[in-house]
Amino acid sequence: MLLKFTKMHGLGNDFVVVDAVSRKVFFNKQQIERLSDRNWGIGFDQLLVVEPPTQPDMDFRYRIYNSDGSEVEHCGNGARCFAKFVLDRELTNKRVINVETKRGVIQLRVLDDGLVTVDMGMPSFDPKELPFTAEPSDALYGITAGGDDFLMTPVSVGNPHAVIKVDQLTDNQVSTVGALIECHERFPRKVNVGFMQVINPDEINLRVYERGVGETQACGTGACAAVVAGIKQGWLSPKVTAHLRGGDLQIEWQGEGHPILMTGPAEKVFEGQIYL
Annotated binding site for substrate: 13, 46, 66, 76-77, 159, 192, 210-211, 220-221
Binding positions:
13, 46, 66, 76-77, 159, 192, 210-211, 220-221
- What's the distance, CA 146 to chain centroid? 26
Nearest alpha-carbon partner for 116 in 71, 83, 144 = 83
The C-alpha angle 187, 148, 233, rounded to 5 degrees, equals: 65
How far are the Cα atoms of 73, 78, 93, 181 from residue 189, in angstroms, in the given order?
Answer: 12, 21, 37, 11
Output the CA–CA distances (angstroms, integers) from residue 267 to 25, 81, 83, 118, 271, in the order listed.
23, 7, 11, 15, 12
Q: Which residues of 111-145 are buried (b: 16+ CB within 10 A; e: fewer)?
A: eeeeebbbbbbebbbebeebbbeeeeeeebbebeb
CA distance 272 to 257: 43
Catalytic site positions: 75, 219
Cα–Cα distance for residue pair 16/209, rounded to 1 Å? 20
Q: State the alpha helices, DSSP H only, in the chain.
A: 29-36, 76-88, 171-172, 178-182, 220-232
